[in-house]
Structure 1
């Protein structure tokens, strides 16, 4: 059974961070993150592009663990379940190829069949659904198609601009998420209090 670093519950490179390079931010995340070999098989089947055959091929926006970690950082999300739900949902939505049926099936599996440490609780499932829609309306490039390796020394702010990630759109949603989840620390820390 994998061990989970306690800092995974508090890790965050916020959306307001523009100056760290992708490499610097990834180094911070990798210092506390788990290895790909520790990801349960059902999670791999649902999210890993290596399982892009029927029926799993219906789930669009599937990415490698490296890509997934980069997307977390670009979206200004931490590593709690609600952050995972948002990152996965937004990535799927940005593909512009995820059907409503596939989205609902994924949410059901992640909310009921994933092992407990990975399972989306109801509030995270709602954030996942919102994130799929937000990714669909975003003008950003499909995030699963990006090769992040050439961007390792780009600053996060510049890379978000390059990929068309609308920081104002994300900030607006993060305020809504925080208002809906007043007792969830991971949602409350997304936008600085004004």
Structure 2
């Protein structure tokens, strides 16, 4: 059983942070994050592009752990389960190829079959579904297809602009999420 750094519950580089480079943000996340070998097999099968064969190929927006961490930082999300739900949902939606059936099935598996440390809690299901829709309407580049390594020394604000990540869209949604989840600290801090 992997051990989890307690700072994973409070880690956040907010959307308002524009000057920090992707490399520096990743270094902060890497200092507390778990490595790929600690990710349970069911999570890998559902989310890792290495398992893109039927039936798992129905889940679009699958990315490596490195890509996933970069997307967390670009979306201004932390590492709590509600942040995971948003990051995964937005990435899947931004593929513009995720079917409603596949989206619902993924949400069910993540909410019922994932090990407890990775399982979407009840309040995260709406956030996940909203994130899939936001990703679908976003005009950003296909996040799962990007090689983020050439962008490591780019400031987060510039990188968001270059990739077409609509900060105003995310800020608006984060305000809605905070209103819907007044007792969830991870949602409240998005607007701080």
Residue matched to 1:93:
93
How far residue 191 of structure 1 moved from its aligned partner, in angstroms, is 1.3
How far residue 96 of structure 1 moved from its aligned partner, in angstroms, is 0.2
Task: Give structure 1 regions of 4+ aligned residues with deviation exceeding 4 angstroms.
Answer: none
Q: Does 1:181 align with 2:181?
A: yes
Match of 2:190, SS state, is coil
Residue matched to 2:162:
162
Aligned positions of 1:28-177 closer than 5 A: 28-177=28-177
Match of 1:189, SS state, is helix
Residue matched to 1:11:
11
How far residue 106 of structure 1 moved from its aligned partner, in angstroms, is 0.1
How far residue 101 of structure 1 moved from its aligned partner, in angstroms, is 0.3
How far residue 122 of structure 1 moved from its aligned partner, in angstroms, is 1.1
Aligned pairs, number: 192
The RMSD of aligned alpha carbons is: 0.3
Structure 2 portions without partners, runs of 5+: none
C-alpha distance in 2, partners of 1:66/1:98?
Answer: 21
Structure 1 portions without partners, runs of 5+: none
TM-score normalised by L of structure 2: 1.00
TM-score normalised by L of structure 1: 0.99
